[in-house]
């Protein structure tokens, strides 16, 4: 069965969601992300997706205290991203309790550095975050665009041990309009040795079950949960 990975996005220490990555379209759902993490844990969730939106903007993690509290007070395996653009930042995230570090912009701007992280920590700890808009990879918290496609970027690192990729189609993110599943099935077929994690656009449980029928391995769920379209009971049934 497909793995469900709920998302917690953080601004100012609070649990928020953006629409299409727009910081001006922010909605706060919970004051304390730990409360949300514990709810997910209670529903049988094993892995949690945490994005430090302040860190993505500042190019340095800003909400490590939140990460520390979640890691210390739950059994969840936390994947943490946002602002990991240096070896120092990577170490700070792993030291704060993250099981996985999500790195995106650094893979585009300094591919040799990202390659060295993969070889040092392995694909079991380093996850490539591939955010795309209009077919091209976006960086720096979705504020900049590169000339690379997702396939271009993933292909650079498969020989370095890349094992997990989170792919977010920004135009679908936060819109609750469903997933463009063809993007993900094509990517998984092109890179069968890589676990492709679907992100962006989930609107209901049928979206998730459809991805499962297509053979995709994991999916991140955010706004659909916070807006009540998917419930903790739904998570329990899957988990």
Q: Domains in the chain, please, with CATH?
A: 3-238 (3.20.20.70)
Beta strand ranges found along the chain (DSSP E): 3-11, 14-19, 22-30, 47-52, 77-81, 100-103, 126-133, 136-139, 144-145, 164-169, 195-199, 218-221
Identify whether the C-beta of residue 146 lies closer than 8 Å to the C-beta of residue 108.
yes
pLDDT of residue 195: 97
Q: What is the rounded CA–CA span in Å between residue 192 and residue 34?
A: 35
**CA distance between the termini of the chain:** 9
Q: Please compute the mean of the pLDDT values over residues 66-94 and round it to a whole number.
A: 97
- Show the tokens assigned to 55: 């860190």
Q: What is the rounded CA–CA span in Å between residue 92 and residue 15?
A: 21
Mean pLDDT, the chain, whole residue set: 92
Indicate the pairing of strand 164-169 with strand 126-133.
parallel
- What tens digit of pLDDT does each residue of 174-207 get? 556 678 899 999 999 999 999 999 998 899 999 9
Which sequence positions are flagged as catalytic? Answer: 9, 131
Q: Is 50 helix (H, G, I), strand (E, B) or coil?
A: strand
Is 63's pLDDT higher than 80?
Answer: yes
- What tens digit of pLDDT does each residue of 146-164 get? 779 999 999 999 999 999 9
Identify whether the C-beta of residue 194 lies closer than 8 Å to the C-beta of residue 164.
yes
Q: What is the rounded CA–CA span in Å between residue 65 and residue 55?
A: 12
State the DSSP string of 194-232: SEEEEES---SHHHHHHHHHTT--EEEE-HHHHTTSS-H
- What tens digit of pLDDT does each residue of 108-152 get? 999 999 999 999 998 889 999 998 887 788 876 555 677 799 999
Identify whether the C-beta of residue 37 lies closer than 8 Å to the C-beta of residue 74.
yes
pLDDT of residue 175: 55
What band does 76 get if pLDDT is binned at 50, 70 and 90?
Answer: very high
- What tens digit of pLDDT does each residue of 165-183 get? 999 887 655 556 678 899 9
- What tens digit of pLDDT does each residue of 12-51 get? 999 998 876 678 888 999 999 999 999 999 999 999 999 9
Q: What is the rounded CA–CA span in Å between residue 148 and residue 109?
A: 11
Q: Please compute the mean of the pLDDT values over residues 97-111 and round it to a whole number.
A: 95
């Amino acid at each position: 069965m497909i793995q469900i990975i709920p998302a917690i996005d953080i601004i100012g220490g609070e649990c928020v969601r953006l629409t299409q990555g727009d910081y001006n379209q922010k909605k706060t759902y919970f004051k304390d992300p730990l409360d949300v993490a514990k709810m997910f844990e209670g529903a049988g969730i094993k892995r949690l997706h945490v994005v430090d939106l302040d860190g993505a903007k500042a190019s340095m993690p800003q909400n490590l205290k939140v990460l520390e509290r979640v890691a210390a007070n739950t059994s969840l395996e936390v994947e943490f991203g946002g602002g990991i653009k240096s070896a120092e930042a990577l170490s700070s995230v792993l030291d704060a309790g993250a099981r996985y570090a999500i790195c995106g912009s650094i893979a585009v701007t300094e591919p040799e550095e990202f390659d060295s992280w993969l070889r040092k920590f392995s694909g079991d700890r380093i996850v490539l975050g591939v955010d795309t808009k209009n077919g091209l990879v976006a960086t720096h918290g979705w504020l900049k665009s590169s000339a690379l496609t997702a396939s271009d970027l993933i292909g650079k690192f498969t020989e370095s041990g890349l094992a997990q990729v989170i792919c977010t189609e920004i135009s679908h993110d936060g819109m609750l309009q469903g997933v463009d599943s063809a993007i993900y099935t094509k990517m998984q077929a092109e890179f069968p040795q890589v676990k492709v994690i679907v992100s962006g656009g989930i609107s209901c449980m049928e979206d998730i079950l459809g991805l499962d029928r297509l053979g995709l391995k994991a999916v991140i769920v955010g706004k659909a949960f916070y807006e009540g379209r998917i419930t903790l009971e739904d998570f329990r049934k899957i988990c």
